[in-house]
A = this chain, B = another copy of it.
Amino acid sequence: MAFDVPPGYRALKDADVAAYLAGVPAVANQLGGRSADWKVREVGDGNLNFVFVVEGPAGGVVLKQALPYLRLVGESWPLPLRRAFFEHQALITEARVAPQHVPEVFHFDETLALTVMAYLSPHIILRKGLIRGIVYPNLADHMATFMAETLFATSDLGQPAAAKKKQMALFCDNIELCRITEDLVFTDPWRLADGNRWTSPQLDATAAAVRSDGPWKRAAQEFKLKFLGEAQALIHGDLHSGSIMVTESDSRAIDPEFAFYGPMGFDVGALIGNLYLAFFSQSGHETRPGDRDRYRDWILQTVEAVWTLFDGRFRALWNKAHGGDVFMPDLFSSGPDQAAFDAAQDAYMRRLFVDSLGFGGCKMTRRILGLAHVEDMESIADPERRAGCEQRALRLARTLMVDGATFTDIKAVSEAARALQREAARVPA
C-alpha cells in the first residue's frame, strides 16, 4: 500500500536546501548572510526522515523532511507524508506550555512535508550521552516538566472537552504511525514476525520463551488495548532517549511525529524504560569492572527523580484553577471534600504510575526482541556480554508489565533493577 504524495512534493537534495530556505524570509534572517554562504549537511540517523543542518553566519537551523517511505526499511514500507503535519501540530501544542523543552519552529511547509526549526547546538542525542556516561544534572527536572506540562494541558483535567475533541479528531488520522507502534511495540516481540531480531544464538531460548509466556503476552495485549482506546492526552508517542537532545543545562524533546491522543503512561514509560535500558547496558560499556557503578547509580536516581518530579508537577497543575471539565475545584471546596479529592488524585497518579511501568516494559522488550534496537545495547561488541545485559533488561521488563502493580513506588522499581544488576556482578555474563 502506497500513500498519496501530494502534487508539488519533491524530496530535497543537499544542493536544493539553501535555495529553498532563501525563499523563506524568517529562516533566511535566522541564518544571516547570503545563501551561498550557508553550509548544508544531511545528518538524519533516524528511521523515518531526511534531516539537514544548515548553518549561516548568524545561526543555524534544522530542516526535517518526511519521505514517503520508512527510511530504515526502504520504499517497500511506505509511510504517509502527513506525519510531518502531525509532528508540526504536536510541536506547536507542546510549545504553548513547555517552549523551553522543544525546538522552536520557524517554518512549516505542508506540501513538502517539511519543518524548519532551531538547530540545537551543542546538544547531542541523550542516548549517546548515556552511552558515554555523561551526567545530566537537570535532565530529570526538565523532562518531568516537559511531560507534566504537555500531558496535563492536553488532558481532560487541563482543557475543556470541546477543545480536546477537536484536536483529537485531527490526530485520529495519524493512523499509520500509530500502527507502527501497535505492531512493533505491543505485538511483534511476542510472536514470530518479519524483522524481529535478537542477539543470537545467546537469546534464542529466551525469545522462544517470551513467545510462549501467556501472562506476559496478556500484559502486552492489555497495554495495547490502553494504547488503542485510552485517549487521555496528546502524547509525544516516541519519547525515548533518542528523541531528546541535551546539554548539561538544556533538554529538548524532538520528533513528535507519532503524536496522538493516547495514554499518558506511554510517554512516561518510554523515558523510564529507555533509562533502564541504559542502566542495564552500562556493564557492556565498562572498560574495567565497576567503572560505571557511579553512573549506574546516577541513572537510577534520574529515573526516580523523573517520576517523583513529574508526579509533583502534575499534581501542582491540577491543584491550581484549571481549564478542564472534570474534578473542578469548586466541586470539592469544603473541608471534608478535600479528603475525597486527595484520594481521587492519589488513585489517578497511582494508575498513571502503574501504566508508566507497564508501557516502559513494552518499550524495553521491543528494543531487544523486535525490529528496531537501541545503540545502548547494539554498541556492545561482545555478544555474550550484550546478551547478559539484554537478559537482565528483559527480566525487569517482564516484571514491569506483569507485576507493575506490586511496586509501592519508583524507589522499589530501582531496587528491583539494582538487584538484577547485583546478581550479574556475582555471576558474570
Residues of A within 8 A of B (CB): 155-156, 161-162, 164-166, 168-170, 172-173, 175, 178-179, 182, 186-187, 190-191, 212, 214-215, 217-218, 221-222, 224-225, 228-232, 325-328, 330-332, 334, 336-341, 343-344, 347
Report Cα–Cα, A172/B161, bound state, in Å: 10
Q: With a CB–CB cut-off of 8 A, which chain B residues contact A214?
A: 332, 334, 336-341
> Across the interface, do B156 and A344 meet the contact criterion of CB distance under 8 Å?
no
Q: With a CB–CB cut-off of 8 A, which chain B residues contact A332?
A: 214, 217-218
A343 partner, pick from B170, B218, B337, beta carbons under 8 A: B218
Q: With a CB–CB cut-off of 8 A, which chain B residues contact A326?
A: 186, 221, 224-225, 228
* Residue with the highest number of chain B CB atoms closer than 10 Å, among A165, A173, A334: A165
Report Cα–Cα, A235/B150, bound state, in Å: 29
Report Cα–Cα, A172/B172, bound state, in Å: 9
Q: With a CB–CB cut-off of 8 A, which chain B residues contact A325?
A: 182, 224, 228
Report Cα–Cα, A231/B232, bound state, in Å: 10
A344 partner, pick from B166, B221, B228, beta carbons under 8 A: B221
> Across the interface, do B231 and A229 meet the contact criterion of CB distance under 8 Å?
yes
Which residue on B lies nearest to A165, using beta carbons? B172
Q: With a CB–CB cut-off of 8 A, which chain B residues contact A172?
A: 165-166, 168-169, 172
Q: With a CB–CB cut-off of 8 A, which chain B residues contact A330?
A: 191
A154 to chain B, nearest CB (A): 11
Report Cα–Cα, A217/B344, bound state, in Å: 10
Report Cα–Cα, A165/B229, bound state, in Å: 10
Across the A-B interface, give the 5 residue pairs with the lowest CB-CB distance, nearest first: A214-B340, A169-B172, A214-B337, A218-B340, A156-B228
Which residue on B lies nearest to A330, using beta carbons? B191
Which residue on B lies nearest to A223, using beta carbons? B326
Q: With a CB–CB cut-off of 8 A, which chain B residues contact A341?
A: 214, 218
A–B complex contacts, Cβ < 8 Å, 14 sampled: A156-B225, A162-B175, A164-B228, A166-B175, A186-B326, A214-B339, A217-B340, A218-B340, A224-B326, A228-B326, A229-B230, A229-B231, A229-B232, A231-B231
Report Cα–Cα, A231/B168, bound state, in Å: 11
Report Cα–Cα, A224/B328, bound state, in Å: 11
A64 to chain B, nearest CB (A): 25
Report Cα–Cα, A81/B347, bound state, in Å: 39
Known: A214-B332, A339-B214. A230 touches B230 (CB 8 A): yes
Q: With a CB–CB cut-off of 8 A, which chain B residues contact A229?
A: 155-156, 230-232
